[in-house]
């Protein structure tokens, strides 16, 4: 019962580099989300998807891109990393709208 799996757990990037944060879920959930959590703050929604092939922007999408080619996977792409993207990133999934979301363990990203 893996649930939501995120890789990597930690990463240090230099300014201007790019990377992809991986997220996969094995619960056959239609809905998937990417959140970021800055120190002392709540989680802010970056992007979400209501099903394979469908993605939409959340509250803080700038500097990120996503794709949803399968139900299981929802990778988050950072292009041209900036120090402002230093954060902890959480991927989550839920069965339908109105149900609780299950979260991965998070990816701690530092941009220097």
Q: List residues binding other proteins (CB under 8 A).
A: 4, 31, 33, 35, 40-45, 48, 50, 56, 58, 90, 92, 94, 96-106
Report the residue number, 32 or 111, with the smaller CB distance to other proteins: 32
- The helix (run of H) or strand (run of E) holding residue 64 is strand 64-66
CB 21 within 8 A of CB 79: no
Least CB distance to other proteins at residue 6 (A): 8
CB 82 to other proteins: min, Å: 23
Q: Which one, 86 or 105, has the nearer CB to other proteins?
A: 105
Rank residues 55 and 85 by Cβ distance to other proteins and give the closer one: 55
Query: Do the bridges between strand 102-103 and strand 87-94 make them parallel or antiparallel, or are there none, so unpaired?
Result: antiparallel
Cα separation of 83 and 75, whole Å? 20
44 vs 49: CA distance, rounded Å: 15
């Amino acid at each position: 019962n893996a649930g939501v799996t995120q890789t990597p757990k930690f990463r240090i990037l230099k300014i201007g580099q790019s990377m992809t944060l991986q997220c996969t879920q094995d619960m056959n959930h239609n809905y998937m989300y990417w959140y970021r959590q800055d120190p002392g703050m709540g989680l802010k929604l970056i992007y979400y998807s209501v099903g394979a092939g469908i993605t939409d922007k959340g509250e803080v999408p700038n500097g990120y891109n996503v794709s949803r080619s399968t139900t299981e996977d929802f990778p988050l792409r950072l292009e041209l990393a900036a120090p402002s993207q230093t954060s902890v990133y959480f991927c989550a999934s839920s069965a339908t709208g109105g149900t609780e979301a299950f979260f991965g363990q998070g990816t701690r990203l530092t941009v220097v």
